[in-house]
Amino acid sequence: MSDPLAQTAPAGDDLVRVENLVKHFPVRAGGLIRRTVGQVHAVDDVSLSIPRGKTLGLVGETGSGKSTLARCVAGLIPVTSGRVIFDGRDITNLSRGAMRPVRREIQMIFQDPYSSLNPRRRVGAIIGDPFAIHKTATGAERKRQVQELMERVGLNPEHYNRFPAEFSGGQRQRIGVARALALKPKLIICDEPVSALDVSIQAQVLNLLADLQRDYGLTYLFIAHDLEVVRHVSDSVAVMYLGRIGESGPIEPVYGSPRHPYTAALLSAAPAADPDAAAARQRIILSGDVPSPIDPPSGCRFHPRCPKAEAVCGQQEPQLEAKAGDTATHLTACHFPVQAGENLAAAGRSELT
Amino acid sequence: MSVTGLEFAGQETAAGEAALDADAAKIQGRSQWQLTWRRLRQDKVAMAALAVIAIMILLAIFAPAFVTITHHPPNIAYPNTGEDAAGNPVAPGTNGFWLGTDGTGRDLFIRILYGARISLFVGFVTTAIGAVAGVAVGLMAGYFGGVVDTVLARFTDAVLAFPYVVLALALAVVLGPSLTVIMGVIAFFSWAAIARIVRGQTLSIKEKEYIEAARSLGAGPFRIMFLDILPNLLAPVLVLATLYIPTAVVFEATLSYLGLGIQPPTASWGNIMADAQNFYQTSWWYVVFPAMALLITTLAFNLFGDGIRDAMDPRTERVFAAGRARRRGRRGKRQVLADDSQSGPSHVAPYIPPAGGS
């Protein structure tokens, strides 16, 4: 177990701190009488913190647990163990009533702009929902505030009475942003907010999010699987693999000199815009698939696919810690961190597969 | 301006601001219901069925007016003009009896109109009760899940599996036949199918991100159920309810036919047909006209329900055209069975397939 305090900056600056968070989903079988036959280890002992007004990018493959982590932080699903501390308060597994005031301060923007807006309700009602639920504005005042929000996110306030189906994907995501913004939250959890959008629209929405952060001092937990998007919007990044954080730290060192072989492989797989650079780069091809989170590998969870794995990797779990030569905030959970200039593409497993 | 023209104009192009605003105002009004109505109006079968339903409702409402015209109150027998020398009913058109008389010399036309009042009242009210109860049960089972779902879903299954005619018989015997009892029985057996559909839809809708969005805003379970889930269920519930009205009408006729529903002298299509059994060899009109009323009403509701179903979802027309034709065929057969009132009570029952009858 890593010491959570060791890896966070002084507690005062952090809006959100997640300490040793564990979320297991029971796997049930049987017809009438359900019994638990296993656990999906969706999030396993994850600690992270987000300083006020900053953006933490959370990257990982599908099934790495990043969305589950986000839902635990938002209090949408109960936590198995560990703590979520928001603005100095422990909000882990609060009751619905106790969570209510916190809901105003933590909002979410969802991945799918189609499924995240109720097709049967008008845009005005959707964006006005936060006001209605928290009874902060009614009638004409609510309408005025909703139209103000629509204008703020770049929508035509005249379209107040339209249905979501009458908007494009990018416009719908703006509706989602307006809804998240309505209660003036401190933290917005963006769960892959642009991955369903066209690239040109992605940039517009990302710029909108950046403007809002600057204007309102928002803190973002930004989930994505697109490394370039994360680099663009985030101050720091955490890489998840099978429910654990493999590497985390400020953008520059993590992207510049990744220490975890998985991070290095992800970065090498990202397409480069420059064809010369694309030809020159060495892609690290990982063998195999992501193992099942029901029965995760022992020791380092990445070891069955790691080009550098040795016997110890399967036995001993690496600690998330600063490696020699790194700054105190750049943490890596690896027994054999990648060294500068090391060529992983040529090493280890690639010729075996 | 055409519909598509409006849609294009409504998009954010550099078109004139005033024109855009005007179009925006027009677009606002085009809700789901207006689109449905627009499509429904093009469905000739559904519109004809709607006309038939409207006529039936008007006839039922204005039944007293026809009493004024014919001077034949529903429960008054006319032994002199309404029966022939042998004491049998007189034929349609005789002595001012438009559709003839029944076995005791009462005006058959007026009695069918008064029967329509009972049938339509029972059909609408029990379906409304059943729909409200079914939606409530289905929403709660689907949304809360777990133990709530297990209890409610198993209860729904039990109701669906219950031999309802037997229960209706038992209740009528114990409590005495009355309008309240048969409406209670019909309502009790009409919510379960709606609850099951609603539960299934709720299960799928509650996984949508907009439900999670509502939860993350702090919305409570009942707000989510009624504001976020229910509007998405109105279409299937409306279709189901429309298709349940004829079922309830037939069920009422069944119970009355068996002597457990509406009691004479109050007229009901079921008890008119039951009485007609003794006369069908001499007086064809006595059984044919009430049976036709039942057939036409139930058929109209079924066809209208199908029409709404198609109009709600523009895809159904193309994708399920074949299935729709098949459904029509099956339902038509059921109505014929309901019409065939002399072949035994079990065939009148709405749910029991003929093979399973006694």
B345: confidence class by pLDDT, cuts 50, 70, 90: very low
CA distance A290 to A175: 35
Say if residues B348 and B261 touch (Cβ distance below 8 Å): no
Residue A199 or B135, more confident = B135
Global pTM value = 0.76
- Per-residue pLDDT tens digits for A55-71: 999 998 888 888 899 99
Contacts of A130 in chain B (CB under 8 A): 217
* A74 contact B CB<8A: yes
Q: Are residues A237 and A106 in the same domain?
A: yes
Q: Return the percentage of chain B with pLDDT > 70, whole number.
A: 78
Q: Who wins on pLDDT, A343 or A11?
A: A343
CB < 8 Å to A118, chain B: 208, 210, 228, 231-232
The residue of A104, A118, A168 whose CB has the most chain B CBs within 10 angstroms, and thus the best one to mutate to test that interface, is A118
A107 contact B CB<8A? yes
Quickly state the pLDDT bin for A187 (edges 50, 70, 90). Answer: very high
Picking from B81, B186, B65, the residue whose alpha carbon sits closest to that of residue B124 is B186
What is the residue-averaged pLDDT of chain B?
A: 79
Q: How confident is the model at residue B222 (pLDDT cuts 50, 70, 90)?
A: very high
Same domain? For A262 and A245 the reply is no
Does any CB of chain B come closer than 8 Å to the CB of residue A68?
no
* CB A222 within 8 Å of CB A58: yes
SS3 A68: helix
Chain A touched by B232 (CB under 8 Å): yes
Instruction: Collect all residues of chain A within an 8 Å Cβ-Cβ radius of residue B15.
Output: none
- Identify from B11, B28, B201, B229 which residue to disrupt to test chain A contact, counting A C-beta atoms within 10 A and taking the largest count: B28
Residue A172 within a domain: yes
A129 and B CB contact within 8 Å: yes
Q: B208 vs A121: CB contact, 8 Å cut-off? A: no
- Please tell me the least confidently modeled range out of A39-53, B22-36, B84-98, B283-297: B22-36
Of B12, B208, B227, the CB nearest to A156: B12
| B18 to chain A: closest CA residue | A158
Final residue before a domain boundary, out of A256, A274, A293: A256
Q: Do A134 and B218 touch (CB under 8 A)?
A: yes
Q: Is residue A146 pLDDT above 90, yes or no?
A: yes
Predicted confidence (pLDDT) per residue in A188-202, tens digit? 999 999 888 888 889
Query: Same domain, yes or no, for A33 and A142?
Result: yes
Co-location of A224 and A328 in the same domain: no
Q: Is B3 on the interface with A (CB under 8 A)?
A: no
Establish if A3 belongs to a structural domain.
no
Report pLDDT digits (tens) over A262-310: 998 888 887 766 777 666 667 777 877 888 888 888 888 898 888 888 8
Comparing B131 with B320, which gets the higher pLDDT?
B131
A62 and A96 housed in the same domain: yes
Number of folded domains that form chain A: 2
A78 shares a domain with A106: yes
Q: State how far Cα B64 lies from the chain centre.
A: 24
pLDDT averaged over every residue in chain A: 85
Structure tokens at A144: 């005025």
Q: Are residues A266 and A247 in the same domain?
A: no
**What Å distances lie between residue B205 and A70, A197, B132, B213, CA to CA?**
21, 23, 19, 13
Q: Are residues A100 and A140 in the same domain?
A: yes
Same domain? A143 vs A94: yes
Q: What tokens appear for B46 in the block?
A: 């559904």
Q: Which residues in chain B are classed under CATH 1.10.3720.10?
A: 31-356
Quick check: A103 and B217 CB within 8 A? yes
Q: Say whether pLDDT at B204 is over 60.
A: yes
Is the model more confident about B133 or about A275?
A: B133
Distance, in Å, from the CA atom of A246 to the CA atom of A238, rounded to the nearest integer, reads: 8
Picking from A106-120, A170-184, A262-276, B319-333, which range would have the lowest pLDDT averaged per residue? B319-333
Contacts of A120 in chain B (CB under 8 A): 32, 231-232, 234
ipTM rounded to 2 decimals: 0.82
DSSP state of A92: T
Q: Mean pLDDT over residues B39-55, rounded?
A: 91
pLDDT, tens digit (0-9, with 9 covering 90-100), for A74-109: 989 999 999 999 998 899 888 888 888 899 999 999
Q: For domain B31-356, give the CATH superfamily.
A: MetI-like (1.10.3720.10)
Domain containing A140 — which CATH number? 3.40.50.300
Looking at chain B from residue 29 to 68, which residues have their Cβ under 8 Å from any Cβ of chain A? 31-32
Region label for A317, one of left (φ > 0), alpha (ψ between -120 and 50) or beta (otherwise) = beta
Do A161 and A53 share a structural domain?
Answer: yes
Query: Which chain A residue shows the shortest CA-CA distance from B21?
Result: A158
**Domain annotation covers residue A211:** yes
Cβ of B210 within 8 Å of Cβ of A74? The answer is: no
Q: Which one is predicted more confidently, B168 or B159?
A: B159
Closest residue on chain B to A131 (Cα): B217
A104 lies within 8 A of chain B by CB? yes
B interface mutation test: which of A103, A120, A158, A175 has the most B CBs within 10 A? A120
Q: Do A182 and A279 sit in the same domain of this protein?
A: no
- Which positions 140-169 of A are in contact with B (Cβ < 8 Å)? 156, 158-159, 161-163, 166
Predicted confidence (pLDDT) at residue A134 exceeds the cutoff of 50: yes
% residues pLDDT > 90 (chain B) = 31
Cα(B22)–Cα(B26) distance, rounded to whole angstroms? 7
The torsion defined by the Cα of B192, B197, B199 and B201, in degrees rounded to 10, comes to -170
Chain B residues within an 8 Å CB radius of A136: none
Give the B window 83-142 contacts with A, CB below 8 Å: none
Q: Is the pLDDT of residue A34 over 80?
A: no
Give the span between the Cα atoms of B346 and B358, in whole angstroms.
6
Q: What is the pLDDT of residue B357?
A: 33
Same domain, A248 and A264: no
pLDDT digits (tens, 9 = 90+) for A199-252: 888 999 999 999 999 999 999 999 988 888 999 999 999 999 999 999 999 999
The pLDDT value given to residue B315 = 55
Enumerate the residues of chain A whose CB falls inside 8 A of the CB of residue B16: none
- A147-150 own/partner pairs: CB under 8 Å, 24+ apart: A149/A178, A149/A181, A149/A182, A150/A123, A150/A175, A150/A178
- Taking residues A99-127, report their average pLDDT: 90
Residue A232 is part of which domain span? 12-256
Question: Which residues does chain B have within 8 Å of residue A76's beta carbon, measured at their own beta carbons?
Answer: 212, 215-216
Interchain pair B212, A108: CB under 8 A: yes
The answer as to whether A310 is a domain residue is: yes
